[in-house]
Structure 1
């Protein structure tokens, strides 16, 4: 495993982070979840990513149980707050009340006294930004949170938050968690430059485009059994990629990956890590062997000529429009 600094901070994160969105508490049983976490630890992964909303809070609990007995100081535990976790009007958003209550609930589920990185899972237009920043800062000063991040914020929102934090002497964000992969590049033109100026790294989710860049989906056949395309929670995310023109272009990546001595999945993960503003790629897994395959992308540096050929192969199926957004992850 190799490590990178998280933004303009001293925190080192593993280049591959293990995430449990759509898996723990949902797609896979507890025993399989434990096996996947054990495989991640065995491969040197130290960064684990979850959120209070995943699987209706069950994902945090499963991860906390799976990490029982592991030296806490060896881990970088990350979770998030924003989406509804209950029926009440204050059970969502980035108000001081919800942030504080949500963190305490996350700490109980994760069986820990603190989280290393706490993300604002989306921007909250209904709460004054200063209230959100002060609540986060208080949690940092209390030692319950060590570092702060955001997920799927726009460049303008990131810049505004950074300036406000500096003006008020509050803890600044050091991470952004967006979707980013060969097919989905909407952060490149605006978000990445804004984050570089703000001292923030990307910790990207969906480096395999919901599994599409693994090559397991074919344009001439049905989705494989057990895939996200057949899962009620994952189908909305993977569906937009399952167009024949996309799947045919992805299939054409196989010989390029083979030339580099990689699988298509390894090529996709290595591609995200070739962006210098990316600190880590978050991978999910329904089987331990998927983790072992993806970790092989660590340390791989892709030749500029190969990067150009990837762009030429994918062509106009690459999404670059920063106005496009995705719903939740």
Structure 2
């Protein structure tokens, strides 16, 4: 199998690069290893090495990655992201016990003794950031993870947490994983989720903290499966339907026609061409969808095109 080299970013604490496209695990299934292994092999063939998992997603995806990695003998080249401490029906669970339990559960399924990145899947805004940072030193020191990340934290809390870590000689968060997509969310897709706004983008530009975007393709908003008059998917209507987003879709389509790409590939390229390090989490259902998304890696966008796509400029100079 021929393996390409994919553009990658560096994340503090890791001794290997992180591919710009990160494979989500939610559609993998260890009870259908023929399908899952085909997708994982296709991802490796385009140069991908990073996979996103979470305790709250259940065992099937992590189980598939663990079986595939053990059979291929490629663990050392992978970047495995494990998210944990997601809230439950009782509320926030950003606790030492939850971190320990979720890490043990995930590592067992992944058939490995460490995560490359351990991410808190949610924040507990009522808990002081210093207490959380102190708690997260334990899995680092035990070798259960190499780097720390935060998913669905505000940049204000991230800033405070990393300031605390620096002041106390501790390891802070090496990456952030909110939603960033060309289609802006009207409201959170799920409770407790964080989508980037202009202030967040400015913060990332200033700090250069890597951003690993979930729902980078806005749940297929740019694929053509939705239209203003088609309103059967209530969740997508609620989260993404707006005049501004339809205009972004129109501009992505126009720019794609000029660049030999489709609107979905342009939207993904938008995430990958920010002024700070970014990766995009993608969730293809099969190898064909994966290869279609991967074409975004060949799309070059200028800062002027980024601004035009995001409605910051009314016209695009050529």
- Please indicate the TM-score interval, normalised by the length of the shorter structure: 0.7 to 0.9
Matching residue of 2:55: 52
Distance 1:247 1:134, change over 3 A: same
Distance 1:163 1:270, change over 3 A: same
What aligned pairs does 1:93-112 form with structure 2 within 5 A after superposition? 93-112=93-112
What aligned pairs does 1:146-295 form with structure 2 within 5 A after superposition? 146-184=146-184, 187-198=196-207, 200-221=209-230, 229=233, 236=235, 239-242=238-241, 246-247=245-246, 250-251=249-250, 253-295=252-294
Distance 1:113 1:203, change over 3 A: same
* Secondary structure of 2:198's aligned partner: coil
Question: Matched residues in 1 for 2:222 and 2:237: separation?
Answer: 11
Distance 1:176 1:259, change over 3 A: same
Please tell me whether the aligned partners of residues 150 and 175 of structure 1 are also in contact (alpha carbons under 8 angstroms).
Answer: yes
Question: Matched residues in 2 for 1:215 and 1:252: separation?
Answer: 14
Q: TM-score, normalised by structure 2?
A: 0.82
Distance 1:144 1:312, change over 3 A: closer
How many pairs align?
A: 299
Shift of 1:184: 2.0
What aligned pairs does 1:299-318 form with structure 2 within 5 A after superposition? 299-312=298-311
Shift of 1:247: 4.5
RMSD of aligned C-alpha atoms?
A: 3.0
Matching residue of 1:3: 8
The higher-RCO structure (CA 8 Å, 6+ apart) is 1
Shift of 1:215: 2.4
Matching residue of 1:324: none
Matching residue of 1:19: 24
Q: TM-score, normalised by structure 1?
A: 0.80
Distance 1:183 1:108, change over 3 A: same
2:78 to 75, 97, 100: 75
Where structure 2 has 5 or more consecutive residues not aligned to the other structure, the ranges are 1-5, 186-194
Question: Matched residues in 1 for 2:254 and 2:202: separation?
Answer: 32
Please tell me whether the aligned partners of residues 166 and 172 of structure 1 are also in contact (alpha carbons under 8 angstroms).
Answer: yes
Where structure 1 has 5 or more consecutive residues not aligned to the other structure, the ranges are 224-228, 230-234, 316-329
